[in-house]
Structure 1
């Protein structure tokens, strides 16, 4: 009984001490000093945009995937176009086209009938595609995605 009481009493004390004397000093050591330049700048990320503001576009071929949980009797098809302002946008998309198609297949293949009945499913899929594409590209290049068609059969 005494060990159980000691654990109940000492754990909050030990947790507080660890946080105050170990965690907070470690976090403070990583923060830059006030007035010091930020360690990451936009130039470090090597993101460039076309100054004219013209958006470049890349249209994907239809992506077809089986709806999850329907024993492969239903499918969803999406045709979409991605837009960005990077000068080499089309070349960067072409270079990673296979990965981007695979990500689109994964996103659409993970949808269930209940998901497809939601009113906002196109926006959910659009956001998942944009985040995944930017992750695979390594930079936030894809700004917008518009669906030419989004069909469930």
Structure 2
């Protein structure tokens, strides 16, 4: 009789071996379905939206890199030949002031997208830098107001950056009280 009770526990252990198959089958079947659903409905839409908006930043970089101060195809700049004097002509405004890392949220993004720009303004007035320094809070407010009123679509359209350039020049001139700023050069332009 001692052997009979030993047999029964072995059978009950054998019966327990079948139970781990149920959770294993559930895991094997449910995990791929959940993974597929998360990939299809969460991960891929997020990637598409970030890649779709990432095009604006790369588009901006290509515009910035393609513009420049190269010589035209009509010839060289005249630097290699003999030159009699200083008749280079008007070099444009010589007085500058630099704004570094101006950051603001873009309009229509509910605070999820921002614009970071650095730029330099130039004008022929010798007091340009001192005027901007004296009214820096007012000028900075005008710049941030102008930048934050733009949408991503405003910046993506052809000529959008030039329209922003003109709007910034106008805003800065209004903030300092007269037309001192004549040119604006973007040195950094990032949409994130």
User: Which band: TM-score by shorter chain?
Assistant: 0.5 to 0.7
Provide structure 2 residue ranges, at least 5 long, that are not aligned to the other structure.
Answer: 1-90
CA distance in 2, matches of 1:65, 1:103: 12
Segments of 4+ in structure 1 off by > 6 A? none
Does residue 80 of the first structure (1) align with residue 107 of the second (2)? Answer: no
Structure with higher Rg: it is 2
Deviations 1:84-128 (A, max 9, x none): 111211111101111111111111111112112112111111101
- TM-score, normalised by the number of residues in structure 1: 0.62
Q: 1:104 to 1:53 in 2, by over 3 A?
A: closer
- Corresponding pairs, count: 102
User: Quick check: which one's helix share is greater?
Assistant: 2
The one of 80, 85, 99 aligned to 1:60? 99
Q: TM-score under structure 2 normalisation?
A: 0.50
2:134 aligned to which of 66, 87, 95: 95
- Unaligned 5+ segments in structure 1 are 1-51
- Deviations along 1:30-76, whole A, 9 cap, x unmatched? xxxxxxxxxxxxxxxxxxxxxx9761111012111111111211111
